[in-house]
Amino acid sequence: MKDKNKDRYWDCLDHAMEASHGGRTEEALGWLDEALKAHPEGAEAHNGRGEILWDEGKFDEALAEFELAVQADPKFVSGHLNRAELLVEEFRAHEEAIEQCDRLLAGGGELARLDRGTEAELYYLKSKALFYQEDLDGALFLLRRAMKATGEQDVYRAFEGQILFEQARFPEARRQLERAVTLNPDAGHAMYHLGLVLERLGDDAEAQRMFERAHAVDPEIYALPVAIDDETFERTAREAVEDLPRSLRETAEQIPVLIEDSPSDEMLERFDLSPQTLGVFLGTPRTEAHATDQPGDVDRIVIFKKNLEKACRDRDELLEQIKVTVSHELGHYLGLSEEDLERLGLA
């Protein structure tokens, strides 16, 4: 790149950064386009475009920009990290993200030599991918490697608390989440999950305070629980069965639908459930039951009121989600697969 074009490239990048920080995204994109005219293979400019497009929800375009960035400069670490995170968070392409993280951690060839911070971030991203694949032990192991590599960070502590919560290790989760909130009093993720833990431990008043603090930080992500009275909740659950086609309703009426606030500790351990599960079918699917089978536990559906109330943003959404959850678990009783349930809009 000629010196004149080089100066123009970096000058445009400075203007783009200033515009982006000021919330002027269209202006920022314009400056990045000018930067790419001066240097079409500018990794920094492609990466900047990718970050803006990601914020605008244009995930495919963002991914393409991050790929152009790392193709232009394989040693450009930010492009690699952004691509891996986008694959994890938006595309749920967990295996591909894990492969990319492993490749970067192995190093060699054209790839950059990693500093400890980058190494930690790759362990963290790989940990998140494993978490979404429900490999909680693997996720916790890698997260702790990340913290060993770079030291204590509130984001890592909060995620450790989230994993421990999903493992039903509530006192341990509380300690890590309280530490995360101490490190960053504005960490909505840590406050919300601390609220979940405190609720499990029976401190409803403090849990509600944490939910409210998280909501104040980011009301779009951390909605407050939507509470409805028990009678309305029970009536809505009954309507889910009554609204079924007659051929299914007569079968569904044979199985009780029970309502509890949240899964018990015994249920979490016995059935390997998430503490946040909305509902569960317990028993033998009708398609697998045989007349000669010995009776075991009573077949039943259990839905969890507090979990459903936290999963929805308003009353109408909650009423609809109660019906969807009951219908989903009835589908399991009837022997339908997750693919069948998704096709029927009950996933």
User: What pLDDT band is residue 176 in, cutting at 50, 70 and 90?
Assistant: very high
The stretch 264-283 carries a mean pLDDT of 95
Structure-model confidence comparison of residues 334 and 257, the more confident one: 257
By CB neighbour count within 10 A (0-12 exposed, 13-18 middle, 19+ buried), where does 34 fall?
middle
**Would you tell me which CATH number, out of the four given (3.30.2010.20, 3.40.50.1580, 3.40.50.1220, 3.40.190.10), belongs to the domain 230-343?**
3.30.2010.20
**Is the pLDDT reported for residue 292 higher than 50?**
no
Give Cα separations from 73 to 41, 80, 103 (angstroms). 8, 10, 16
Domain with CATH 1.25.40.10 in the chain: 152-224
Could you give the 3-state DSSP secondary structure of residue 21? helix
CB 145 within 8 A of CB 123: yes
Backbone angles phi, psi at 129, to 5 degrees: -60, -45
Residue positions counted in the chain: 347
Helix (H) or strand (E) holding 244: none
- How far is Cα 330 from Cα 237, in angstroms, rounded to an integer? 12
- Terminal CA-CA length for the chain: 53
pLDDT in tens, 72-124: 999 999 999 999 999 999 999 999 999 999 999 999 888 889 999 999 999 99
For residue 326, give both structure tokens: 């009951």
Q: In one letter, which amino acid is 91?
A: F
pLDDT in tens, 184-243: 999 999 999 999 999 999 999 999 999 999 999 999 999 999 999 999 999 999 999 998
Could you give the 3-state DSSP secondary structure of residue 72? helix
Instruction: Say yes or no: domain 152-224 is CATH 1.25.40.10.
Output: yes
Domain with CATH 3.30.2010.20 in the chain: 230-343
* Cut 0.85: pTM above it: yes
Backbone angles phi, psi at 259, to 5 degrees: -120, 125
Confidence at residue 206, expressed as pLDDT on a 0 to 100 scale: 98
CB 48 within 8 A of CB 29: no
Q: What angle (nearest 5°) sits at the alpha carbon of residue 211, between those of residues 208 and 212?
A: 90
Helices (H) and strands (E) in the chain, counts: 18, 3
Give Cα separations from 292 to 121, 295, 296 (angstroms). 55, 9, 12
Q: What angle (nearest 5°) sits at the alpha carbon of residue 159, between those of residues 217 and 114?
A: 110
Give Cα separations from 248 to 253, 290, 332 (angstroms). 9, 19, 13
**Is the pLDDT reported for residue 244 higher than 90?**
no
User: What pLDDT band is residue 344 in, cutting at 50, 70 and 90?
Assistant: low
pLDDT in tens, 20-44: 999 999 999 999 999 999 999 999 9
CB 301 within 8 A of CB 277: no
Q: What's the chain's average pLDDT? A: 93
